[in-house]
Each structure stands twice: as C-alpha cells, then as structure tokens.
C-alpha cells in the first residue's frame, strides 16, 4: 500500500479509536457494574498504541529518518508515549480510573495533530543540518517520552485530588519509606474477615480496592480473627501509582536533558546556554524534584505534593508547546539559517 495513504488512514483511525476509548473509560467509571468495559478500554488503548506506532514507522520508512522533525510527528510520538505509559500505569494499579484521565489526554493530542494542524504542517520535511545527529534522536525521543510519562503521572495526581477532595489523607510511599506502617485508626487486628486469596489477582480490570467480603469463608486466615494485611485504598493506590510514574518520568527527563546538553556541547560547544526551551526543561525538572522531596517532608503531607504535581502538568505543557509559541531560541527547529 502507498505509505502516504496508509498514514492518512492510520491518522484518522487513531483519533477515532481514542475517542471511543475515552467514552468507554468514562462509561466504565460512571457505571462500574457494566462488565467488559474495562477490557474494552484497555483493548482500545492497545489498538491506538499500535496504530500510532505503525504510523510513525511508515513515516520513518518514507522520510528515512526518525519521525520527530515537526509538531505533527512529535504530537503523535507523544500520544504513543502516553498510551504506552497508560498501559504501564493501568497494569500497575489495576484501576479503570487511570484510563478515565489518560484517554482524554491522548485523544486531545491526536485531535490537535490530526484535525487542527494545517496540512502543510503535517507532511514530513527534510532535516536542517543542526538536527542531523544521533544525539538528536536520543535527546528528543527521551524528552518526549519523559513528557508523556510526567503527564500521565501528574494526571493521576489530579485524579487523586479529585478522589480525596475534602479529605485529609496521609501519604504512603516515599524514598524514606514512612508508608509501611499500620495506621492507628485502622484496627491492628482486623476484625472483619478479609480474604487474601480473593482480593488479589482476581479481576485484572480494576476494583482492587473493593475487598471482597463474600468469598472468603473458607480462607484459613479469615476463620481466626488474626493479624491480616492492611490494604491500600483507592486514594492511596492512585497516589502511589502517580508517584511511581512520576518517579519513572524524572530519570527520563534527567537523561533527556543531559543528552541534550552533551549534544549541544558536541555540536556548538556549550552544554548549557539558557535558551528558553532548555530553561523550561530545567524548570520542569526542578518542579518535579520539588515534588519528590515534598513527599518526604513533614510539613508537606497530604494533598500538597499532588498539588505540586498538578502544577507540574501545566509546566510540562509550557515546556513542550508554550516555548515554541514564544517562537524564539535554538529549538524552533532550523535556527541555523
């Protein structure tokens, strides 16, 4: 098949699939009792992910270089990253809430690329000399992946804020590890019979938090009211997954920035030149470093780290798009001429 036709087709299919997937996830969140919706949502995400991978692959074949030369390609690469990290976060948390926040983001990015960008900005363009480098591929692709990861992580922090609105909550999970202890408010010895067997590994789709109270009569543990594990609730799970995903995005951002620095030094002799895009990458990095540290600070417990992560979501977007709209500096692609 003609590569260009294939690309156009995949472009539309990705958007349509993500749109439907978003509706499925929202439906699943609103009506948790409807079966199959979580599976359908995950399937939608996988299909979109593969479509976008094929789309980018076709571009690569057609243009002969890694497809990250313009906004259209970078938006699709970002969406590919978002859907990938979505799948990671969903399998980590087994919660359908993940898709309720990530699907609209993925859909929005493809909509912007496929529907709003003028045709002239969608076609592949030759690379300018400054961009012909393997460092560029390293730098830009890792940066894009880190944006995708940080966006998903901070969206989960937003979901956490929504779930816990009006509550005070104690965080679990941080580099110093304060989260491993029992809360006093919850009984040391669980009185209600809680089956371990039924609570784990059951439905791969979500509802991890709902302790299944019916099926555990035969369980050895439940018969004696003895010491049993205190499980994480929905809010705690969301918070921890958000922390883990941001914790994954942070090293990616670090490596991406360093790769950019090394590349800049090899190409024009300075690993840091305070170009606006560079500076915003540093700002993003600082905000998420502050987030990681806020989790281990006494005075910053509860919802405040998540608020910082929410700020981080805005900052990543400014770093990714806002700076280009300012239209200055090295990273407007083609500064050399």
Partner 1 sequence: MKTINLFFQRFFKTEVLPLLANLQLAILLLLAIAVFSVTGTVIEQGKSLAFYQANYPEHPALFGFLTWNLISTLGLDHVYRTWWYLALLILLGATLGACTSTRQLPALTAARRWKFYDQPRQFEKLALSAELETGSLQSLAALLEKRRYRIFHERNFLYARKGLVGRVGPIVVHISMLLILLGAIWGAMTGFMALEDFPSGETFKISHIVEAGPWFRSQLPSNLLVRVNRFWIDYTPEGGIDQFYSDLSILDSQEHELKHKTIHVNDPLRYQGLTLYQTNWGIDAVQYQVNNSPILQGKMAPLKIGGKNRTWGTWVPTKPDSSEGVFLMAQDLQGTLRIYDASGKEVSTVRTGMSTEVNGVTLTIIKVVGKTGLQIKADPSISIVYTGFGLLMLGVVMSYVSHSQVWALQQEGHLYIGGKTNRAQVAFERELLDILDLLDQEPKEQISELSLTLSNEVVKRS
Q: Tell me the C-alpha distance between 69 and 333, whole Å.
A: 8
Please report how close the Cβ of residue 177 comes to ligand HEM at its closest, in angstroms: 8
Please tell me whether residue 296 binds ligand HEM under the rule CB under 6 A: yes
Q: Which of 102, 110, 174, 205 binds partner 1 (CB under 8 A)?
A: 174
Which residue's CB atom is positioned nearest to ligand HEM?
A: 175
Please, is 97 exposed, middle or buried when counting C-beta atoms within 10 Å of its C-beta (0-12, 13-18, 19+)?
buried
Residues 6+ away with beta carbon under 8 Å from 116: none
Please tell me whether residue 294 binds partner 1 under the rule CB under 8 A: yes
Q: Could you give the C-alpha distances from 62 to 28, 56, 59, 125, in angstroms and in order?
A: 39, 10, 5, 11
x/- string (CB under 6 A) for ligand HEM, residues 272-291?
A: -----------------x--
Please tell me whether residue 169 binds ligand HEM under the rule CB under 6 A: no
Please tell me whether residue 337 binds ligand HEM under the rule CB under 6 A: no
Please tell me whether residue 292 binds ligand HEM under the rule CB under 6 A: yes
Please tell me whether residue 243 binds partner 1 under the rule CB under 8 A: yes
Please, is 159 exposed, middle or buried when counting C-beta atoms within 10 Å of its C-beta (0-12, 13-18, 19+)?
buried
Q: Tell me the C-alpha distance between 281 and 285, whole Å.
A: 6
Name all contacts of 176-181 with Cβ < 8 Å and 24+ positions apart.
176/296, 178/296, 179/240
Q: Which of 180, 191, 214, 325 binds partner 1 (CB under 8 A)?
A: 180
* Binds 179: which of ligand HEM, partner 1, none (CB < 5-8 Å by kind): partner 1
Q: Which of 231, 244, 293, 304 binds ligand HEM (CB under 6 A)?
A: 293
Are the C-beta atoms of residues 135 and 262 closer than 8 Å to each other? Answer: yes
Please report how close the Cβ of residue 176 comes to ligand HEM at its closest, in angstroms: 5
Q: Mapping DSSP to helix (H, G, I), strand (E, B) and coil, where does residue 333 land?
A: coil
Q: Which of 254, 321, 324, 331 binds partner 1 (CB under 8 A)?
A: 254
Q: Interface residues with ligand HEM (CB under 6 A)?
A: 174-176, 247, 289, 292-293, 296
């Amino acid at each position: 098949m003609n590569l260009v036709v294939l690309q156009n087709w995949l472009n539309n299919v990705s958007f349509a699939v993500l749109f439907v997937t978003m509706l499925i996830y929202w439906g699943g969140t609103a009506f948790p009792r409807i079966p199959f919706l979580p599976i359908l949502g995950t399937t939608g995400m996988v299909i979109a992910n593969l479509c976008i991978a094929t789309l980018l692959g076709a571009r690569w074949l057609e243009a002969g270089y890694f497809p990250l030369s313009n906004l259209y390609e970078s938006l699709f690469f970002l969406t590919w990253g978002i859907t990938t990290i979505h799948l990671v976060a969903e399998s980590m948390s087994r919660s359908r809430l993940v898709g309720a926040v990530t699907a609209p983001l993925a859909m929005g990015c493809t909509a912007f690329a496929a529907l709003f960008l003028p045709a002239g900005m969608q076609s592949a363009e030759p690379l300018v000399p400054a961009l012909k480098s393997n460092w560029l591929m390293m730098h830009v692709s890792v940066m894009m992946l880190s944006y995708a990861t940080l966006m998903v992580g901070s969206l989960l922090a937003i979901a956490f804020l929504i779930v816990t609105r009006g509550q005070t909550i104690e965080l679990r999970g941080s580099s110093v590890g304060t989260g491993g202890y029992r809360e006093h408010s919850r009984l040391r010895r669980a009185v209600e019979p809680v089956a371990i067997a039924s609570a784990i590994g059951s439905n791969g789709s979500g509802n991890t938090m709902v302790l299944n109270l019916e099926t555990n009569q035969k369980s050895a543990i439940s018969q004696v009211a003895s010491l049993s594990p205190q499980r994480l609730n929905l809010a705690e799970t969301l918070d921890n997954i958000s922390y883990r995903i941001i914790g994954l995005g942070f090293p990616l951002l670090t490596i991406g920035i360093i790769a950019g620095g090394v590349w800049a030094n090899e190409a024009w002799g300075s690993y840091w030149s305070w170009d606006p895009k560079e500076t915003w990458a540093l700002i993003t990095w600082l905000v998420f470093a502050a987030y990681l540290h806020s989790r281990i600070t006494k005075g910053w417990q509860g919802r405040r780290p998540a608020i910082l992560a929410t700020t981080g979501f805005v900052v990543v977007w400014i770093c990714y798009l806002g700076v280009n709209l300012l239209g200055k500096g090295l990273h407007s692609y083609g500064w050399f001429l």
